[in-house]
Amino acid sequence: MKFRKIATLSLLTLMAGMSLASCQSSESGPVNSGFIREKTTIDLWTIVGANNQSQLNDYIERFKKLEPNVTINNVKQSTNYNGLATMASDGFAANNYPDLIQAYPDAVSDFMYYKKVVKLDPYMNDATSHSGKELAGDYKDSKYESSKTYTIGWSEEEKNDIVPEYLAEGQKYVIDGTYSVPFSKSTEAMFYNKALIGLTIPGINDGKALTEAYFNNLTWEELFDNFCPKFIAYNDALADKDKILKSDKAYHAVFAYDSDDNLFITLGEQYGIPYTAIDKTTGKGQALFNNDQYKALLKKWSGYAQKGYIISKGSAGNNYTNEYFTANNTLFSVGSTGGVKYQYDANNPMDVGVARIPQPAGAVNGTSSTEKLAIINQGPSLCILDHGDANRKLASWLFYKFMTNEENALDWAINSGYNGIRTSVLNSDEYKEACDEKQFNLKTLERLMARSASYIPTVSDILYTSPTFKGSSECRTQAGGLMTYALSTKDIKDDDLAKKFDSALATCNQQIG
């Protein structure tokens, strides 16, 4: 299959690149080739996992054949995204921070406070061009083609090829301009046990057999007020050996949502409940979540949790909820499309379906003016941090541009599990072939990845992002804490809930400043 050849070629070019790099290690001076004509070293910090490191190293080694004067130190930090951002911020004073870093917009906003983030518009729009012959110079292994012309920036066609929602995310800061660009983008999906398909359960789906369409149009109201209680009764009546939903683990429920903060923020977006905003007069962020609507919603969801309808990572001992899903201790698991591989366990293979996460009934039925269809646009972008060196900044941009060109963006989308960031990738024959689940056996990871890949384009028009500003990261942390509290606490008292919200707001306001 054509799309499989991409990964194979990547390994071959990686080996060739490694050989090339070793041959060049003895060079004492710069090579007369490329846009960068001086020896330049840049540091890339990510938390890209072992499964995807070979792809990243492949891009680095092939980029070396275009820009032989540039050396890229690829540093995988053993931490999470918050830890990665903290490492960079803590290193600003000692000049111990990278040139390129994986970061969520919240972290980029904090970097901007220290005046370390490079505005990318001048690079994106730079029409400076050279012939391939000139760029190749005297470097015999150069991959610049003599017959072509190369520019520093994107052409309008290239710029328009980036999925608009992803590009716009990097422009929603308190200062005008583009300060981050998409790379490992993802969204959330509802993974479910396809053993449910074809079941007929009294009172669910109007008494008809369950279908993929039913799950793909599931509302929160249908899920918690109808499906959960009726399915639990149905499952309880089955013999132990026939039960679909198991209860042999400490944590189990019908529905699992891995990210407490995403759940809190997404519900606000879907139901029109204020979460955060940017004051247009002062340019500062605002935490708005301390309101009666959110309190009422969390109190209701606390009741759902006590009935065994839902668990989250926070309420399940801070364990990833996919672990319970793959062990059949939940029927549904909402998680990142970038982490699709974690929704499958080869030791307990399951036919896993992929559907849109539940939405408000009023949004699905078109009966509400305040409720809307919404799924979070997530996954880290890349931003360039300023070391005061023009070559380092340009080299960082050129590498980003290279590793997200159409060929590499396709490779990353197919083989990493992350979303394709280019429209041309999503519309390509190779991507469509990767989405064809019929070529893979049932109950395999390959079939699940194909389903996830085909799901991503279907929700691109309902993705949302929250405002980002200094302190927005703390708002997200506090939001997650409030959701964990609600799903973990029995018989929540109004006064106790109000105190939790007041404390969360005070903590956020300290960071917003």
Average pLDDT along the chain: 92
* % pLDDT > 70, the chain: 94
| 12-26, 296-310, 347-361, 468-482: segment of lowest average pLDDT | 12-26
pLDDT tens digits, 141-161: 999 999 999 999 999 999 999
Nearest to 335 by CA among 259, 279, 282: 259
pLDDT at 488: 98
pLDDT tens digits, 261-297: 999 999 999 999 999 999 988 889 999 999 999 999 9
Give dist(CA 387, CA 332) in Å, integer: 46
Task: Return the higher-pLDDT residue of 339 and 441.
Answer: 441
Nearest to 255 by CA among 197, 319, 307: 307
Average pLDDT of the residues in 162-174: 91
pLDDT at 4: 37
Supply 108's token pair.
């980029």
* % pLDDT > 90, the chain: 85
Give dist(CA 50, CA 30) in Å, integer: 32
Average pLDDT of the residues in 362-382: 95
pLDDT at 513: 67
**The whole model's pTM is what?**
0.85
Give dist(CA 418, CA 187) in Å, integer: 9
pLDDT tens digits, 129-144: 999 999 999 999 999 9
Q: 112 with 173: CB under 8 angstroms?
A: yes
Residue 304 has pLDDT above 60, yes or no: yes
Average pLDDT of the residues in 305-327: 96
Residue 306 has pLDDT above 70, yes or no: yes
Strands 40-46 and 100-103: parallel
Residue with tokens 């995204």: 81
pLDDT at 3: 42
pLDDT at 288: 98
Interior/surface letters 81-109, b for 16+ CB within 10 angstroms, e for the rest: beebbebbbeeeeeeebbbbbbbbbbbbb
Residues 6+ apart with CB under 8 A from 204: 210, 226, 227, 230, 231
The DSSP H or E segment spanning 54 is helix 50-64
pLDDT tens digits, 91-117: 999 999 999 999 999 999 999 999 999
Average pLDDT of the residues in 333-343: 93
pLDDT-derived band of residue 415, with 50, 70 and 90 as boundaries?
confident
pLDDT at 458: 92
Residue 19 has pLDDT above 70, yes or no: no
Residue 71 has pLDDT above 70, yes or no: yes
pLDDT at 23: 38
Average pLDDT of the residues in 358-369: 97
Residue 10 has pLDDT above 90, yes or no: no
Q: For 264, which DSSP code?
A: H
Residues 6+ apart with CB under 8 A from 358: 190, 218, 219, 220, 222, 223
Strand partners, 44: 74, 100
Dump the DSSP string for 426-490. Answer: HTSHHHHHHT-GGGS-TT-HHHHHHHHHHHGGGGGGGEE-----TTHHHHHHHHHHHHHHHHH-S
pLDDT-derived band of residue 348, with 50, 70 and 90 as boundaries?
very high
pLDDT at 29: 85
Average pLDDT of the residues in 353-358: 98
Task: Return the higher-pLDDT residue of 87 and 50.
Answer: 87
pLDDT at 15: 36
Quote the crossing angle between the two packed helices 292-306 and 472-488, to the nearest 10°. 40
pLDDT at 28: 65
Strands 149-151 and 285-287: unpaired
